[in-house]
Amino acid sequence: MSQVFTPNSELQHLAGQPIAEIATTLTINGVERQLVIEPWTTLLDLLRDKLDLIGTKKGCDHGQCGACTVLIDGTRVNACLKLAVTLDGCEITTIEGLGQDGNLHPLQAAFIEHDAFQCGYCTPGQICSAQGLINEGRARTRLEVREQMSGNICRCGAYTNIADAVLEVLESMERA
């Protein structure tokens, strides 16, 4: 039996078309960058492939795992679901912008202390998501933290330690 599969036949006529480039200004980790970006480039691929900010991870490319979570103007977003050219003028914070070796963000320090990761691949996304959760200001209890962190999958199963780390930072902020 013979079969033909053409997954994208309706787009065949676009094959030879040149790809436009669009001037876009992004402020990434406090540094303003004038970029020329193809419109089909996601924020995730821009960060990883073009800017070598590999701390933001690709775990599914479908907005289903949370590994690529970054902060856009303080709000947590899956970078794989955003086309970079749509973010002109936005401020983007990635894990590299939250803290560095010798100058760790409290969440980064708490993640180490509570062993809130194993393989480390979902970790930058978990930490950025936790910062987003703190910015939202809606989580107070462990139950709320667990519920509101549920967009970030950790296959190593560090969930209870992640909740401990996030709660510790939340509580220390409330005390301060």
Which 124-143 positions form the footprint of another protein (CB under 8 A)? 124, 127
Nearer to another protein, 91 or 96 (CB): 96
Which range binds another protein by CB under 8 A, 71-79, 85-93, 113-121, 168-176?
Answer: 113-121
143 in helix, strand or coil? helix
> CA–CA separation, 176 vs 158, rounded Å?
27
Restricted to residues 24-83, the positions that interact with another protein (CB under 8 A) are: 38, 40-41, 45, 48-49, 52-62, 64-65, 67
38 in helix, strand or coil? coil
Nearer to another protein, 38 or 91 (CB): 38
Q: How far is the CB of 74 from another protein (least distance, A)?
A: 19
Task: Supply 47's token pair.
Answer: 């960060």
Residue 66 φ/ψ region, left for φ over 0, alpha for ψ in the -120 to 50 degree band, beta for the rest: left
Nearest to residue 136, comparing CAs of 70, 76, 68?
Answer: 76
Q: Site for another protein (CB under 8 A): which residue of 24, 78, 94, 131?
A: 94
Q: How far is the CB of 164 from another protein (least distance, A)?
A: 11
Instruction: Walk across the sheet containing 69-72 and list its strands.
Output: 31-37, 22-28, 91-93, 69-72, 75-78
20: phi then psi, degrees, rounded to nearest 5: -70, 160
Task: Supply 175's token pair.
Answer: 């005390």
86 binds another protein (CB under 8 A): no
CB atoms within 10 A of CB 107: 25
Q: How far is the CB of 168 from another protein (least distance, A)?
A: 14
Which range binds another protein by CB under 8 A, 10-18, 71-79, 85-93, 168-176?
Answer: 10-18
Which range binds another protein by CB under 8 A, 16-24, 71-79, 85-93, 167-175?
Answer: 16-24
